[in-house]
């Protein structure tokens, strides 16, 4: 009897469901003894799955295009400083960030929408590290996971408590730092200004960022009565203002130059007898003799803050305070100058008599007042604190709170907070089984508990509205991740949480097979359906699986480009409009990533070859081609969009990096092997889905299967059985494009049967060590036509999309029938480039595999132009006529391919010509010329 499954084993099962293509190091294979090989922990597979995947560490990649691409990403995984990723988390919790600089793009506070998506990239990176470790067992990846999980554990603990002082070196002794992104400020007691009729306020500050309108101090009742000093106004210079009638009634003083960042500056303001003066570093920079308002005119003030503004939209001051003093008189210029060389306590002025804070505390969350008035100050967060101890994020909970009342999208205020939560949760769920670090599970479980506590109390109508909001309500693959979490924890609340993300309008439409996708944001919705399949696994509710299956069929092929990608400018257009949607922002890379996940998850329930046909298409083309063939420790070099316009040059570092697509790109490049092999759930069969150099260790059977191939540069593969012996059916995928034959031999003997393109070919026997299976799958050059414009076409050789490399920005025109073979193969019309596999030329343009990650201008689509009837490079001199729908005479002739011999082709030409002549589409004399040309021509096989 097998031992009971551990909680880690359960999560591994969930992780298997989530994985997609991954890789291990290029390696030479040695014989493996299953009796001594390290085997993975047993995994629990949902009873609804009729096939199961293998763990990433069960499948090692051999040398080839996948290993090459993965090696480049592993260099990035080893070289990037993870403390940069953790910076935004630590800052949010008020923890030291050291010298780490937050990533650019979407991850930093200065990125798009003020970094409202920050934290998502850390989740992607954790997943990449977990997959890299599973595929390579390099300790460096496990160590980096440990660093990140440890830091996130510290972050959550800090978020659970009141903020604590972060002590740093000051101008004189110690100072208190408020990290940028911590949303921390200092609250002073109400009596701090003491209704003074004359006053001096002085502070030592060290700004760390050039935010406009961040307050050094702000004492006010609201946005009507207040007194403030901003480090920078709209012109970038310090500004002091006091008012009892709002912004329009401000009496103000403006500085003359900006305060330097990361340097200490002394600021002081004095008011007395109608005169106000602003000092910067001891020098008077502004004076007004019309400063009639004093603290006495403001009355009782509710908010007395250092670092926070009474205007909610203003930023929180980021930087350090080295002292703050308030006197009930106006200091002289000489006294202000004296304060440049010492603390107030050591100057002739003495400490402020209304308030005096040295900020030399090194622990705790309060600051002592040395004025003698006992006005202890307290460190606060603008958002108070998390609603639940499980909260973990790189920004305040306010985005989640605001989403609950939003009725329209505004990503500058709320940008997909649950999407970000998904990435963090997914990263933790992947880190846990990779390293057995219980802290990762605890963090993940806490996030589930927090989300349930937040969402379970909301009305159903609120949830439906939230999830229907573009961008702001996007939640990515969180349902899948929560189902995986539930499989691990067994908490009923976690399964209930997964169902709280149901977007009923979308689910019901897809379950009824009603296509409502036009106008929807593609990547916001694709991962929803992978989650629905997992909900079906957990609940048995059929509408989830039906909706997902129908949805897949609405995208493939109806909204799919040749490379396997989908979406235009992130959105879907009308069904079957392909040529009409091609632009510079087609094929968002995240969409391909998520369609791969959905395809494999559906295959676990229904072994329809179409899912793996799509998988091969998208993996070998868009996914591989989205990774630049260059090593870079600082950037993953992955595309966001892949423009399919003529002459498009791929951008491998869009938006300064750290986008969603670069995150999923990191994941894709470390799991290329995840769908090469599947096993029937009862162990009776092994599915070989992809022809990829790899070695499978099938522990349950005690065998290894080593696949040796240069595919797709080789047109076939060889599988060798190692280890012991076992009985099972080997199911070899016959690609739908394999119309030129599919031949299988076992130990040199041909296997009988007629493999059908778009199926699996089964070979059943008791396999023994040394058994060798050879598969030949000849490639043919073919075209795929845009559904809405058949003349716009893309080239494929076997599984490989061939793109023209040409800087022209208009569609190129090519003819391909000129030397087509009897088989219908168009390849003879192209010329092979010597020494460059899969590279060809046609009319002066080089065609190369899309998967090559270069920065060459490319043409994925071209215009088909066959102006004259040509056979075997013999020109008939007759114009190629066309029907009203665009079908030409040559199109109709060649749809009859393959032809067994030349006679069969000539017969097809003759019968087609007769039909066109009788239909008035071709003259009799021209028809005679066409037939005569076909009879004289020499055809390739």
In order, the DSSP letters of 533-595 are HHHHHHH--HHHHHHHHHHHHHHTTTT--TTS---BTTB--STT-SGGG--TTBS-HHHHHHH
Across residues 461-477, what is the average pLDDT?
97
Q: Where in the chain is the domain with CATH 1.50.10.20?
A: 460-468+477-668
Burial 184-194 (b: 16+ CB within 10 A, else e): bbbbbeeebbb
Across residues 900-911, what is the average pLDDT?
96
Q: Is 143 in contact with 338 (CB distance < 8 Å)?
A: no
Give helix then strand counts, H and E, for the chain: 23, 39
> Is residue 915 over pLDDT 90?
yes
pLDDT, averaged across the chain: 94
**Rounded Cα–Cα distance for residues 80 and 185 (Å):** 32
> Is residue 443 over pLDDT 70?
yes
In order, the DSSP letters of 764-800 are EEEE-TT-EEEEE----EEEEEETTEEEEEEEEETTE
Please identify which residue in the block is written with the tokens 């990649």.
61
**Rounded Cα–Cα distance for residues 506 and 525 (Å):** 9
**Rounded Cα–Cα distance for residues 930 and 913 (Å):** 8
**292-307 tens-digit pLDDT:** 999 999 999 999 999 9
The maximal CA–CA distance of the chain, rounded, in angstroms, is 114
Question: Could you tell me the CA-to-CA distances from 585 to 629, 640, 666, 860, 922 in Å, in that order?
Answer: 21, 9, 20, 14, 42
Q: What architecture does CATH give domain 184-381?
A: Sandwich (2.60)
- Quickly state the pLDDT bin for 110 (edges 50, 70, 90): confident
- Quickly state the pLDDT bin for 8 (edges 50, 70, 90): very low
Closest CA to 308 of 178, 137, 163: 178
> Is residue 513 over pLDDT 50?
yes
- Quickly state the pLDDT bin for 701 (edges 50, 70, 90): very high
Q: Coil, strand or helix: which one is 42? A: coil
Residue 311 CB-half CA count within 13 A:
16
- Quickly state the pLDDT bin for 787 (edges 50, 70, 90): very high
Min mean pLDDT across 35-49, 192-206, 407-421, 825-839 is at 35-49
* CB neighbour list of residue 36: distance below 8 Å, 6 or more residues apart: none
- Quickly state the pLDDT bin for 654 (edges 50, 70, 90): confident
Q: Where in the chain is the domain with CATH 2.60.120.200?
A: 184-381
Terminal Cα distance for the chain, rounded: 59
Pairing state between β 813-814 and 862-864: parallel
Backbone angles phi, psi at 814, to 5 degrees: -140, 150
Backbone angles phi, psi at 275, to 5 degrees: -115, 130
**Rounded Cα–Cα distance for residues 27 and 30 (Å):** 9
**348-362 tens-digit pLDDT:** 999 999 999 999 999
- Quickly state the pLDDT bin for 721 (edges 50, 70, 90): very high
CA angle 610, 522, 654 (to 5 degrees): 110
Positive or negative: CA dihedral 52, 57, 58, 62: positive
Model pTM? 0.93
**377-411 tens-digit pLDDT:** 999 999 999 999 999 999 999 999 999 999 999 99
Q: 460-468+477-668: what CATH class?
A: mainly alpha
Across residues 56-78, what is the average pLDDT?
97
**Rounded Cα–Cα distance for residues 705 and 708 (Å):** 10
* CB neighbour list of residue 20: distance below 8 Å, 6 or more residues apart: 593, 596, 597, 600, 667, 668, 671, 674, 675
Q: Is 552 in contact with 528 (CB distance < 8 Å)?
A: no
**14-55 tens-digit pLDDT:** 445 444 333 322 333 233 332 222 223 333 689 999 999 999
């Amino acid at each position: 009897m097998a031992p009971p499954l551990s909680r880690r084993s359960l999560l591994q099962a969930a992780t298997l469901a989530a994985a997609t293509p991954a890789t291990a190091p290029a390696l030479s294979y040695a014989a493996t003894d299953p009796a001594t090989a390290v085997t993975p922990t047993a995994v629990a597979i949902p009873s609804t799955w009729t096939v199961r995947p293998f763990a990433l560490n069960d499948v090692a990649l051999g040398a080839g295009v996948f290993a090459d691409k993965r090696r480049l990403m592993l260099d990035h995984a080893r070289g990037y400083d993870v403390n940069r990723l953790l910076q935004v988390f630590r800052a949010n919790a008020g923890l030291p960030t050291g010298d780490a600089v937050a990533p650019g793009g979407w991850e930093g506070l200065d990125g798009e929408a003020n970094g409202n998506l920050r934290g998502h990239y850390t989740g992607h990176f954790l997943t990449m590290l977990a997959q890299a470790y599973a595929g390579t067992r390099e300790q460096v990846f496990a160590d980096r996971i440990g660093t990140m999980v440890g830091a996130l554990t510290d972050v959550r603990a800090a978020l659970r408590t009141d903020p604590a002082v972060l002590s740093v070196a000051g101008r004189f002794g110690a100072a208190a730092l408020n990290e940028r992104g911590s949303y921390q400020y200092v609250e002073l007691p109400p009596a701090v200004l003491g209704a003074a009729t004359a006053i001096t306020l002085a502070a030592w500050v060290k700004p760390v960022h050039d935010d406009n309108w961040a307050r050094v101090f702000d004492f006010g009742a609201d946005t009507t009565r207040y007194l403030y000093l901003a480090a920078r106004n709209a012109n970038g210079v310090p500004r002091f203002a006091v008012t009892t009638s709002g912004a329009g009634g401000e009496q103000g003083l403006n500085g003359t130059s900006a305060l330097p960042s990361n340097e200490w500056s002394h600021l002081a303001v004095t008011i007395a007898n109608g005169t106000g003066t602003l000092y910067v570093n001891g020098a008077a920079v502004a004076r007004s003799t019309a400063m009639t308002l004093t603290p006495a005119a403001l009355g009782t003030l509710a908010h007395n803050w250092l670092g926070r503004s009474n205007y909610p939209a203003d930023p929180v001051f980021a930087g350090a305070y080295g002292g703050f003093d308030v006197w009930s008189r106006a200091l002289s210029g000489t006294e202000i100058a004296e304060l440049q060389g010492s603390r107030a306590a050591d100057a002739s002025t003495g400490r402020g008599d209304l308030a005096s804070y040295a900020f030399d505390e090194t622990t705790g969350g309060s600051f002592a007042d040395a004025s003698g008035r006992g006005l202890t100050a307290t460190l606060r967060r603008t958002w108070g604190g998390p609603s639940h101890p499980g909260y973990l994020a790189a920004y305040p909970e306010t985005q989640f709170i605001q989403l609950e009342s939003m009725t329209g999208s505004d990503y500058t205020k709320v940008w997909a907070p649950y999407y970000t939560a998904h990435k963090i949760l997914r990263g933790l769920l992947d880190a846990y089984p990779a390293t057995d670090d219980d802290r990762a599970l605890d963090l993940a479980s806490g996030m589930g508990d927090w989300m349930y506590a937040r969402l379970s109390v909301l009305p159903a109508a609120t949830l439906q509205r939230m999830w229907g909001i573009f961008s702001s309500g996007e939640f990515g693959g969180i349902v899948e991740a929560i189902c995986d979490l539930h499989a691990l924890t067994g908490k009923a609340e976690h399964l209930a949480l997964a169902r709280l993300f149901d977007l009923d309008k979308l689910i019901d439409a897809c379950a009824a097979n009603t296509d409502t996708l036009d106008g929807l944001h593609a990547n916001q919705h694709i991962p929803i359906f992978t989650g629905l399949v997992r909900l079906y696994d957990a609940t048995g509710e059929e509408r989830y699986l039906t909706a997902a299956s129908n949805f897949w069929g609405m995208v493939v092929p109806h909204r799919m480009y040749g490379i396997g990608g989908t979406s235009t400018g992130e959105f879907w257009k009308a069904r079957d409009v392909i040529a009409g949607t091609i632009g510079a922002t087609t094929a968002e890379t995240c969409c391909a990533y998520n369609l791969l996940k959905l395809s494999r998850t559906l295959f676990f329930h229904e072994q329809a070859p179409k899912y793996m046909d799509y998988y091969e298409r998208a993996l070998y083309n868009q996914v591989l081609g989205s990774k630049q063939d260059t090593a870079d420790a600082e950037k993953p070099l992955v595309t966001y969009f892949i423009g399919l316009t003529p002459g498009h040059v791929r951008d491998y570092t869009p938006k300064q990096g750290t986008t969603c697509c670069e995150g999923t790109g990191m994941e894709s490049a470390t799991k290329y092997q995840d769908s090469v092999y599947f096993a029937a759930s009862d162990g009776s069969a092994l599915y070989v889905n992809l022809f990829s150099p790899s070695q499978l260790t099938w522990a349950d059977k005690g065998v290894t299967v080593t696949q040796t191939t240069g595919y797709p540069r080789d047109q076939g593969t060889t599988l060798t059985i190692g280890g012991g012996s076992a009985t099972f059916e080997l199911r070899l995928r016959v690609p739908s494009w394999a119309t030129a034959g599919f031949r299988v031999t076992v130990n040199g003997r041909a296997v009988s049967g007629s493999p059908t393109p778009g199926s699996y070919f089964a070979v059943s026997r008791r396999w023994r060590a040394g058994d060798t299976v050879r598969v030949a799958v000849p490639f043919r050059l073919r075209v795929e036509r845009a559904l809405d414009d058949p003349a716009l076409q893309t080239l494929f050789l076997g599984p490989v999309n061939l793109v023209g490399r040409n800087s022209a920005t208009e569609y190129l025109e090519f003819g391909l029938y000129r030397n087509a073979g009897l088989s219908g193969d168009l390849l003879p019309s192209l010329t092979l480039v010597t020494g460059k596999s899969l590279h060809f030329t046609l009319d002066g343009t080089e065609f190369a595999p899309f998967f090559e990650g270069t920065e060459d201008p490319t043409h994925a689509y071209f215009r088909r132009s066959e102006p004259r009837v040509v056979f075997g490079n013999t020109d008939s001199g007759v114009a190629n006529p066309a029907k009203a729908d665009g079908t030409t005479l040559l199109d109709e002739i060649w749809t009859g391919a393959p032809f067994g011999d030349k006679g069969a082709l000539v017969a097809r030409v003759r019968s087609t010509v007769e039909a066109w002549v009788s239909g008035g589409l071709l003259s009799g004399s021209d028809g005679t010329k066409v037939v005569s040309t076909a009879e004289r021509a020499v055809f390739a096989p």
